[in-house]
Amino acid sequence: MNLPEEEQWLRVESLADKLRLLPPDEAANEVARLEAAGESRTVLTLLTKWLALPPPPVPVQEGSVIDGRYTLKEKIGQGGMGSVWRAEQKMVGRDVALKMIHTMLVSPEVRAQFVGEISALGRLNHPGIVRIFDAGIHQQPDGSSIPFFTMELVKGLPLDRWAVLPWVTRGAQLRLMSQVCEAVQSAHERRVVHRDLKPSNVLVREDDYPMVLDFGIARLELFPAMKQARFPGRQSTLLPNSIWGMTTISGAAKAWMFIRRG
């Protein structure tokens, strides 16, 4: 089972919202009907786990205040590890991107991976890599905690959408890819490898400068719903090391990925 993509998370959330309103036996029958209709095994596994969880007393949504410092304004992304929100930093009055772990994945093991993502981002310093501003642990009213961090809010187009714009020349594409390589090389020099570099993780700003996002791809095998997943991310963009189960990934492997996708 592959790590769920954004569309799968949205599908799970939509189905869970509906099935929560049904009696347990009717909800189980509906899950069986979805399975017979060919619903994704990943969606069904996560849906079953989701329905087994008690609803949070105060759901995180637009207007929620995180750690007393950030007000959520709009969800702008959802990935395998967590969601990304546009949030207002109350003390400064600026908008930031706030990433928090998905509520289904909150466990000591996965929290440790999320904190590792924060630490990795904190070591990076390059104009082509999104900057981290802050990090913390949000305490919910029921006593549970959700780790989060905030980054600069990057406005732009994913690399694949930018590349097909009618005014983007081949020369512009090559210059931009050179800038992406420089950013990735800077991370390699700090012993950080992206593991899931793909067009959606590179945003091109209005000034045609690329920003590399989300160095947080991680193995989630300790989460029960993910134990069957051998590697995170999309197989078409993953490094061979990840697919083969190797824990050490070098800059040379990332260079292989660039050549393969080029």
Catalytic residues: 196
Region class of 214: left (phi > 0), else alpha (psi between -120 and 50), else beta: left
Q: Could you give the CA distance from residue 105 to residue 219 in angstroms, rounded to a whole number?
A: 12
For residues 55 and 44, the answer to whether their CB atoms sit within 8 Å is no
CA distances from residue 160 to 15, 119, 199 in whole angstroms, order as listed: 30, 29, 5
Residues whose CB falls within 8 Å of the CB of residue 171, separated by 6 or more in sequence, listed in order: none
Structure token pair of residue 39 = 């619903």
User: Within a 10 A sphere around the Cβ of 23, how many other Cβ atoms?
Assistant: 8
Residues forming a β-bridge with 127: none
